[in-house]
């Protein structure tokens, strides 16, 4: 079945598939685009699956210089008009309290503060060992997705429930962007390949279930 999927994937995403490595946990990649309080796009995050968590590469501009809290919040929804309250609380699928210095912390979504330069630029690589791009506990692609949030102030790593970090000034919905999702994300691509490769519409059961899985994951990461 795996071979069938690989063949189908190649057909579905054409040139893109050929340029990417074979599917596998370590190859999982996700992207997120930050918007500010006005809804303007100000940067990106690229997330890649590592052996012990998710590596997050930040490239953002237009932020206030200085120290800022940076968290994974539990809902994949970034609405500027709500002050990004739409992103929910810190992602904490295992419970626990907020903060690296809290007795019963941290949340899975807790991460060290980031530092914005005087010109408003933020570039940083952060490894979060409490989350995963795969399924299961800590997945960034659970039923309601997840978001990356930058706050106006610093996280004190101790105060409940969110480190006294102030307003949410930037937010980015985490979106799956591996080969499988790419093929399912394009309406024309997901519709036409089964017709060309399976003229009788007798798609193998494996294809059908995978397709459902991708649609579900897509639905939990609204844009």
Contact residues for Cu ion (CB under 5 A)? Answer: 71, 149
Instruction: State which residue, 71 or 210, has the beta carbon closest to Cu ion.
Output: 71
How far lies 13's CA from each of 50, 181, 210, in Å?
25, 10, 15
Instruction: State which residue, 149 or 221, has the beta carbon closest to Cu ion.
Output: 149
Q: Which residues have C-beta within 8 Å of that of residue 120, sequence separation ≥ 6?
A: 61, 62, 63, 64, 65
Instruction: State which residue, 71 or 217, has the beta carbon closest to Cu ion.
Output: 71
Cα(134)–Cα(141) distance, rounded to whole angstroms?
8
Min dist. Cβ of residue 73 to Cu ion (A): 6
Min dist. Cβ of residue 9 to Cu ion (A): 36
Min dist. Cβ of residue 162 to Cu ion (A): 5
10 Å CB burial of residue 188 (0-12, 13-18, 19+) is: exposed
Best CA proximity match to 181, nearest among 23, 7, 74: 23
Min dist. Cβ of residue 165 to Cu ion (A): 6
Instruction: State which residue, 108 or 184, has the beta carbon closest to Cu ion.
Output: 108
Radius of gyration of the chain (CA): 19
Cα(148)–Cα(11) distance, rounded to whole angstroms?
33
Min dist. Cβ of residue 11 to Cu ion (A): 41
Min dist. Cβ of residue 97 to Cu ion (A): 14
DSSP 146: -
- Beta bridge partner(s), residue 132: 139
Instruction: State which residue, 114 or 149, has the beta carbon closest to Cu ion.
Output: 149
Instruction: State which residue, 30 or 147, has the beta carbon closest to Cu ion.
Output: 147
Cα(74)–Cα(87) distance, rounded to whole angstroms?
6
HSE, side-chain direction, 13 A CA sphere, residue 52: 3
Which residue number is nearest to Cu ion in terms of Cβ? 71
Cα 20 to chain centroid distance, Å, stands at 19
């Amino acid at each position: 079945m795996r071979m069938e999927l690989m063949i189908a994937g190649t057909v579905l995403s054409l040139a893109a598939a050929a340029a990417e490595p074979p599917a596998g946990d370590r190859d999982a990649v996700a992207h997120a685009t930050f918007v500010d309080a006005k809804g303007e796009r100000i940067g990106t995050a690229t997330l890649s699956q590592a052996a012990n968590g998710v590596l997050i590469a930040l490239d953002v501009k237009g932020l206030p210089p200085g120290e800022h809290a940076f968290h994974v919040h539990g809902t994949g929804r970034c609405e500027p008009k709500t002050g990004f309250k739409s992103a929910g609380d810190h992602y904490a699928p295992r419970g626990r309290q907020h903060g690296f210095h809290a007795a019963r912390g941290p949340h899975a979504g807790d991460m060290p503060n980031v530092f914005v330069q005087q010109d408003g630029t933020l570039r940083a690589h952060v490894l979060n060992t409490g989350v995963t791009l795969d399924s299961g506990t800590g997945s960034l692609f659970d039923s309601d997705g997840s978001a990356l949030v930058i706050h106006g102030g610093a996280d004190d790593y101790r105060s409940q429930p969110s480190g006294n970090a102030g307003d949410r000034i930037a937010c980015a919905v985490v979106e799956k962007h591996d080969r499988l999702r790419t093929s399912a994300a394009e309406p024309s691509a997901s519709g036409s390949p089964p017709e060309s490769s399976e003229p009788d519409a007798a798609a193998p059961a494996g294809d059908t279930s995978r397709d459902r899985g991708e649609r579900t994951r897509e639905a939990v990461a609204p844009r």
